[in-house]
Structure 1
Amino acid sequence: MTNSSSDPQNGSPQQLRDLARTGDEHDRWLLAGRDDVDSDLFILLAEIGEEDVLVMLARNTATPGPVLELLSERGGVLADEARLNTNAPADLKDDSPIGSHSAHSIGLYLDERQATPSQRRALNREYERSAHPGGRRLGEVWEQVRSRV
């Protein structure tokens, strides 16, 4: 299973970082899916750069925003996955379809944008009316809402 005595499901932060360095891709994939590890481990896994591990990082809602930004810079499907992550920074979410986000993701977006109550209502109305998944770019909808409300 691994080239290390560590287990990807258990261990101290240092043991998990060591496993990321010495284990196999499957170990790193399991680590990338965890929600209880420190940001240093997410950064290390992103730096190692194995495609399946990167996709798991992009999909993991515990992945920190700065790591998602790094993943999005790689382009393609990886960027799409990173933009749709609930934890993605607002600027990253701007380029994704509004209806492809969860309601929770939209709420976090509005928090980061420091939306007023009327802007929240307007954007939530647009979200509810949108195709799911799909719709217009979130950033485009936000700009429209900001200019009206």
Structure 2
Amino acid sequence: MELTFKVKRFNELSTSELYKILRLRAAVFVVEQDCVYQDIDNKDQSALHVIGYKDREVVAYTRIFDAGHYFEKASIGRVVVSQNERKFGYGHDLIKESIAAIEKHFNTKSIKISAQTYLKRFYETHGFTQIGEEYLEDGIPHIGMIRE
């Protein structure tokens, strides 16, 4: 089954959608990755939210920003797919949708991300290239990557 994607501004999210998004982010970033960090960071309000639905459940998600709101370039963050759904390759669909949303809503192809290092090859398949050295973010190895 394919995912259905929607792109919404913060004020367009229903309370149920927001709850499902935050629950998914907490399940993966806090519980699964065993990382205590402040996920709710007051940046969601200025982001566009790319939401992947399967049978009305939120199973994939990113938030995207225009240039200057997070990095100097447009950016994709909080990239997450539910653990039970990863085997279907939805991460690739999610990144394609996120790139397309940046091109449509922000009129740019230039994107910067802060990627978990172990996902370097995944992002390279979508045209991203590593910039700079590896660094720790919330105790997890990350690299900067750009796509022009």
Structure with greater proportional helix content: 1
Structure with greater proportional strand content: 2
- Higher RCO (C-alpha under 8 Å, 6+ residues apart): 2
TM-score interval, normalised by the smaller of the two chains: 0.3 to 0.5
TM-score, reference length from structure 2:
0.33
Structure with the greater alpha carbon radius of gyration = 1
